[in-house]
């Protein structure tokens, strides 16, 4: 049976599996095309490579970190876009900053660039080798930037004022939905936050006003609407906006504001359309950014 005959067989007897495969291959191609297109806009190392460029290109980066001489690390994620969504204070002079789940360290180095007096970058899942990445990218960027950012391999359940101290600003980006105990994690983070927590997370059920979370069991979901969940085997919970706010309040934050997305009606409609498109989703996933303050004013 040749390829065309196999195609006809699947079209007749296994149409769902054929559509799923087509969906997966199309989304993978679109994701790769988007990454290549965005990287072409950056000055990433290209041949002929210097010794430093070879070090950079030998690492699989997730963050696009600005390096000396205008170069960038070829990360998978558009961290500049996420940075804009986070709405970090432009001036962090004399502030102390904790970056939880730092991975390659983009946000920690950015906080240092914005004048933070002290920055501590922490990770365990990626740095210990249990997750997708390693600490190699952080260490190389740290050296090339001549950075004074401190580094500590520590897991979130072990974070406390006794183990890391208390910080004016705490960053928790792309971490919450990977945790088995999201509320406990927010309580640990709250215990080391003096002023502001910047929380970025993947969300679900955004059309619901009642606090709710979807449970993903820490494994990939082959029939999920979202490509992220079909491929990622480390998602445990995906909260909606109301659940995030409720958990932050429970953790001890007095004032909470969603800062991204701002205009939410169109985004909610766009998200809701996924219910009616079981094979090709409207967007890869849906994320929100929250600022949570310890003080009510």
CA distances from 221 to 14, 27, 237 (A): 20, 16, 12
pLDDT band at 283 (very low <50, low <70, confident <90, very high): very low
Q: Mark out the alpha helices in 145-275 (DSSP H runs).
A: 182-191, 227-231, 241-251, 265-272
Over the stretch 135-177, which tens digit does the pLDDT of each residue have? 999 999 999 999 999 999 999 999 999 999 999 999 999 999 9
Lowest mean pLDDT among 50-59, 76-85, 124-133: 124-133
Sign of torsion over alpha carbons 60, 142, 182, 285: negative
Higher per-residue confidence, 1 vs 63: 63
CB 14 within 8 A of CB 20: no
3-state secondary structure of 271: helix
Domain boundary assignment for the chain: 1-41, 77-293
CA distances from 197 to 168, 251, 252, 293 (A): 9, 11, 11, 6
Name the token pair of 121.
């970058």
CB 268 within 8 A of CB 233: no
pLDDT mean across residues, the chain: 86
Q: Measuring CA to CA, which residue among 294, 100, 286, 116 is closest to residue 199?
A: 100
- pLDDT more than 90, % of the chain: 59
Neighbours of 181 (CB within 10 A): 13
Q: Which residues contact 81 (CB under 8 A, 6 or more apart)?
A: none
Q: Which residues contact 96 (CB under 8 A, 6 or more apart)?
A: 116, 117, 118, 119, 120, 165, 167, 168, 169, 194
pLDDT band at 133 (very low <50, low <70, confident <90, very high): confident
Q: Is the pLDDT of residue 231 over 70?
A: no
Q: Measuring CA to CA, which residue among 258, 285, 268 is closest to residue 86?
A: 258
Instruction: Identify the CATH homologous superfamily for domain 77-293.
Output: Vaccinia Virus protein VP39 (3.40.50.150)
């Amino acid at each position: 049976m040749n390829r065309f005959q196999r195609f006809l067989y699947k079209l007749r007897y296994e149409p769902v599996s054929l559509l799923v495969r087509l969906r997966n291959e199309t989304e993978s191609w679109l994701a790769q095309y988007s990454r290549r297109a965005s990287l072409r806009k950056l000055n990433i190392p290209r041949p002929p490579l210097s010794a430093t460029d070879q070090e950079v290109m030998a690492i699989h980066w997730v963050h696009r970190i600005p390096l000396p001489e205008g170069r960038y690390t070829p990360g998978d994620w558009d961290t500049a876009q996420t940075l804009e969504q986070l709405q970090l204070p432009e001036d962090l002079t004399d502030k102390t900053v904790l970056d939880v789940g730092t991975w390659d360290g983009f946000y920690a180095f950015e906080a240092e660039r914005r004048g933070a007096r002290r920055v501590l970058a922490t990770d365990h899942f990626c740095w210990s080798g249990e997750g997708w990445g390693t600490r190699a990218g952080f260490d190389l960027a740290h050296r090339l930037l001549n950075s004074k950012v401190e580094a500590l391999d520590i897991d979130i359940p072990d974070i406390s004022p006794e183990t890391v101290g208390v910080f004016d600003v705490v960053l928790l980006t792309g971490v919450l939905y990977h945790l088995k105990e999201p509320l406990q994690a927010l309580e640990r983070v709250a215990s080391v936050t003096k002023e502001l927590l910047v929380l970025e997370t993947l969300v679900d059920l955004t059309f619901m006003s009642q606090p709710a979370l979807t449970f993903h069991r820490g494994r990939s979901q082959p029939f999920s609407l979202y490509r992220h969940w079909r491929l990622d085997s480390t998602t445990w919970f995906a909260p909606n906006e109301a659940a995030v706010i409720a958990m932050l309040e429970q953790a001890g934050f007095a004032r909470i504001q969603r800062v991204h997305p701002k205009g939410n009606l169109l985004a909610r409609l766009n998200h809701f359309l996924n219910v009616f498109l079981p094979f090709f989703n409207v967007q890869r996933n849906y994320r929100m950014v929250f600022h949570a303050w310890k003080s009510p004013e």
